[in-house]
Amino acid sequence: MENNNKTDHDITEVAPQQSVVNENGFMTVINHSRIRPPFSVVCTTVLYCAEFICAAVLCSFYRKTDDVVWMGLSITFMLVPSVLTQLTLTFVHRDLGKDRPLVLFMHLLQMGPIIRCIEALMVYCQAGRKEEPYVTISRKIKLKHGRGLGPALEWEIGHTERKLAVHRNAFKRTAVIQAFLGSTPQLTLQLYATIQEKYILPARLALMIISLISITYGALVCSVLAIQIKYDDYKIRMKPIAYLCMILWRGLEIATRVTTLVLFSTVFTHWVVLVGLINLLVFFFQPWVEFWVRRASLPENVETNFSKLGTTVVLCMVTFLYACINIFCWSAVQLDLADHDLVEKLTRWRRLAIYYTLRFGENVTLIILWYHFKTDFYEYVCTPLLVVQLIVCYSLAVLFMLVFHQFCHPCRRLLHYNVEDCLLCACCWKKRESLQPTDSEVAPQYAAPPDLTSHLTERETDIVDDILDAA
């Protein structure tokens, strides 16, 4: 059932028993459909607990073997995202101004996601026991085969749905924070430790697998969040094949990127810090440079009680998270610091192409440098095959990304351009250049060759602001 959560992507079909068309031409759904279970909340909580427990067990092993460096870094990458997760959940639910000592105590024990998950499950189990009045209305346009169908539908949102929407919003934020501020450095560290020590611990292997799943899930949330925000006036329903394509795309992209950085760091330990720092600074300042070039002003009412300084601090934290995501994979969400939602609504294919082109070139360069300067440490590994596998895996990630946008994107008919348009445009330019006559063959009476890309006009969609703010 459609609720007031803009970032919610698991939208089921609405089966209204009664509907009316109001004077504005919108179809209002009177009766609610079945409330969906909070699967995303449970999934995020399970990943958080599993990663925390595995990291704690591994740290205890490091303590027994006196591996102080590995233990200190593992504890850091375990506690820092955990603290940020507690702060995020507390901030979203605004518990500091409420009399809830048990919940705050659980957050101090780093068990906030557990108590929040129990609350969400209790709200879901108690739903439907008594009829409740709606608190707001959500307006969406139904999609069929990637296009809008019929008049906009209005759903009445009750208290239970609103509470579950807040829980889903909060846990999606924590999933992204946990993935790219905790799981990503943790996976990089443990893979580096495994290569240096030449053996795999069971606890370390379990932690690396859980971290990779957490990162892939966080990237998946970013991709769906970008679609939901850009087309928030449409009722989005993702198909299983779309999720499978995104999982393959994100999993291969992240695994290849982490492996490349770790292999490079085994040969150039200090230079990899410079590579990561350059990436971080470029992606951190990129939204701010665009903001200053447009001479825009800071968005108002990002939070009710925030001053200009508070808004700036929040924007810096958001851009830092944005930069950390882009170091390892495409963020999908592009920041617009002048917008109230902080997200750019347009799909920029050129920026996507530039990112993957530069990232592919960077990965290939790092792999070749590692292969050229590698030591005898890798004498039992077929290094040429490993180089080819890494390049092929990243190419497959790009291929699955193109397949998703061309065939599996839920709003592919609403895109300004799709993958096929871009490829046709490139082919047309190549064909025009090959058929263009030389200066000696051109007669004076002939005009310049026509623009073969003039048929690629921009298809725009009329998107209105949603009256419902889920967060």
Domain boundaries, the chain: 17-237
Model pLDDT, residue 406: 86
User: What is the four-CA torsion angle of 239, 241, 245, 246, rounded to 10 degrees?
Assistant: 20
3-state SS, one letter per residue, for 22-89: CCCCCEEECCCCCCCCCHHHHHHHHHHHHHHHHHHHHHHHHHHCCCHHHHHHHHHHHHHHHHHHHHHH
Model pLDDT, residue 314: 82
Q: How many CB atoms lie within 10 A of CB 309?
A: 8
pTM exceeding the 0.75 threshold for the entire prediction? yes
> pLDDT (tens digit, 0 to 9) for every residue of the chain, 471 residues total?
334 444 343 333 334 444 545 555 555 554 455 678 889 999 999 999 999 999 999 999 999 988 899 999 999 999 999 999 998 888 877 776 677 888 888 888 999 899 999 999 998 888 766 656 656 666 667 666 556 565 666 666 777 888 888 889 889 999 999 999 999 999 999 999 998 888 888 999 999 999 999 999 999 999 998 888 887 777 777 889 999 999 999 999 999 999 999 999 999 988 999 999 999 999 999 999 988 888 877 776 555 556 677 778 888 898 999 999 999 999 988 888 887 777 887 777 888 899 999 999 999 999 999 998 887 667 777 888 999 999 999 999 999 999 998 888 887 766 666 666 665 665 555 555 555 544 444 434 433 444 433 333 333 333 333 333 333
C-alpha closest to that of 6 among 274, 236, 183, 211: 236
Model pLDDT, residue 457: 36
In contact, 135 and 162? CB cutoff 8 Å: yes
Edge-to-edge strand order for the sheet containing 234-235? 19-21, 27-29, 147-158, 134-144, 234-235
103 to each of 109, 110, 166, 361, 444, how far by Cα in Å?
10, 11, 16, 48, 82
Q: What is d(CA 17, CA 14) in angstroms, rounded to the nearest whole number?
A: 9
Model pLDDT, residue 387: 92
| Inter-axis angle of helices 202-230 and 184-197, nearest 10 | 150
Model pLDDT, residue 89: 87
For tokens 């995104």, the residue is 246
